[in-house]
């Protein structure tokens, strides 16, 4: 890490050598919507506006153990293999932050450099320490994850899949949303949930630890962070401790007002899952001869069954 300061601006530099094509690495950096599946600290990312190679983003990520969010502008330059960014709405104690991803080809792959410049609110020393720690921790984690994913790019693309299940409900969208958002009530409402602990750092940011029963009666514990957007009928989540057969599991609950096949207005609640399987974990847990296709089918069946059960109970509760 290299640091310098002029007035109240501080600069940090992190880099890593990646044994993978620069184009694969650039693609992972450019695809910000996919960051939660690659970068551990990133919980959720949205492209709010996009014009050519310029984007307005909103990102939610862990910083020093807490979920922070900010709005940034990015400029992508594929020809130069750079992505520059600048926060337009920062989360205190950050007063401003920006930087650049730079990818340089090497004989065996590429070198990735991540630069940050930042200022703290009122130049407070404790705030500067917190920002420096967060930048150092997250940058190191992100570059490690980027290297791991890029060097196993074929495995990553084959192991990642998305699917959904939905339920049409007669009732109000807000009642359906509340059933899904108030997860602390799930143990008394959902047969497959044995235990659930929920806390909120701030309204709409939930931390959840849940024990669920598997088809064979075994109990599985997972921890997640959830972001609730009542005005959008949307809950997004990321498992912070996914099961051992996965390296990542993100998803969302979406509540929409639609018309069914007969043209009748209904509330459609949809559960989406994006899973990244861990090939080594699959072989260790499910057996050395287990193929990814079989593991995918088993994971999809397990997650889909629980989601369908949750949506069915939401329907019964609301109706």
Long-range contacts of 188-195 (CB under 8 A, 24+ apart): 189/313, 189/317, 190/309, 190/310, 190/313, 191/309, 192/306, 192/309, 194/219
Give 287-308 pLDDT, tens digit per residue.
999 999 999 999 999 999 999 9
In which band, very low, low, confident or very high, does the pLDDT at 2 lie, cut at 50, 70 and 90?
very low
In a shared domain, residues 118 and 179: no
In a shared domain, residues 124 and 104: yes
End-of-domain residue from the set 132, 151, 170: 151
End-of-domain residue from the set 124, 151, 178: 151
In a shared domain, residues 128 and 26: yes
Domain count, the chain: 2
In a shared domain, residues 94 and 240: no
In a shared domain, residues 204 and 188: yes
* 165 contact partners, CB below 8 Å, separation of at least 6: 270, 271, 304, 307, 308, 311
In a shared domain, residues 186 and 314: yes
pLDDT at 214 over 90: no
- State the pLDDT at residue 3: 43
In which band, very low, low, confident or very high, does the pLDDT at 7 lie, cut at 50, 70 and 90?
very low
Give 21-46 pLDDT, tens digit per residue.
999 999 999 999 999 999 999 999 99
Is 125 strand, coil or helix? helix
* 104 contact partners, CB below 8 Å, separation of at least 6: 22, 81, 110, 111, 113
In a shared domain, residues 7 and 99: yes
In a shared domain, residues 135 and 169: no
Note whether 245 and 275 are within 8 A (CB): no
The residue segments making up the domain with residue 61 are 2-151
In a shared domain, residues 174 and 247: yes
Give 61-104 pLDDT, tens digit per residue.
999 999 999 999 999 999 999 999 999 988 889 999 999 999 99
In a shared domain, residues 91 and 114: yes
Note whether 245 and 277 are within 8 A (CB): yes
In which band, very low, low, confident or very high, does the pLDDT at 241 lie, cut at 50, 70 and 90?
confident
In a shared domain, residues 94 and 76: yes
Q: What residues does 236 pair with on adjacent strands?
A: 227, 252
End-of-domain residue from the set 151, 173, 203: 151
The span from the CA of 178 to the CA of 159, in Å, is 33
Question: Looking at residue 265, which CATH number applies to its domain?
Answer: 3.30.530.20
In a shared domain, residues 94 and 172: no
């Amino acid at each position: 890490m290299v640091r310098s300061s002029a007035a109240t601006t501080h600069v940090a530099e992190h880099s890593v050598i990646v044994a993978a094509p620069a184009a694969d690495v650039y693609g992972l950096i450019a695809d910000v919507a996919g960051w939660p599946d690659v970068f551990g600290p990133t919980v959720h990312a949205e492209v709010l506006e996009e014009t050519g190679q310029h984007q307005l983003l909103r990102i939610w990520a862990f910083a020093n153990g807490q979920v922070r969010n900010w709005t940034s502008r990015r400029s992508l330059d594929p020809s130069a293999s750079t992505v520059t960014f600048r926060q337009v709405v920062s989360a205190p104690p950050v007063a401003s932050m920006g930087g650049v991803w730079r990818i340089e080809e090497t004989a065996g792959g590429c070198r990735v450099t991540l630069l940050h410049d930042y200022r703290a609110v009122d130049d407070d020393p404790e705030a500067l320490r917190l920002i420096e720690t967060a930048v150092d921790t997250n940058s190191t984690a992100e570059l490690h994850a980027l290297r791991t994913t890029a060097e196993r790019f074929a495995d990553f693309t084959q192991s990642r899949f998305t699917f959904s299940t939905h339920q049409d409900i007669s009732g109000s969208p807000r009642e359906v949303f509340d059933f899904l958002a108030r997860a602390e009530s799930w143990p008394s409402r959902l047969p497959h949930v044995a235990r659930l602990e929920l806390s909120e750092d701030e309204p709409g940011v939930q931390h959840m630890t849940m024990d669920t029963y598997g088809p064979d009666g075994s109990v599985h514990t997972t921890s997640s962070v959830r972001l609730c957007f009542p005005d959008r009928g949307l809950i997004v989540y990321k498992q912070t401790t996914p099961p051992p057969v996965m390296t990542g599991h993100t998803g969302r609950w979406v509540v929409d007002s639609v018309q069914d096949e007969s043209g009748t207005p209904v509330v459609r609640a949809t559960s989406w899952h994006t899973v990244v399987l861990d090939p080594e974990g699959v072989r260790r847990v499910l057996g050395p001869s287990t193929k990814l296709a079989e593991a995918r089918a088993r994971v999809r069946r397990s997650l889909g069954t629980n989601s369908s059960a949750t949506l069915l109970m939401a329907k019964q509760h609301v109706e």
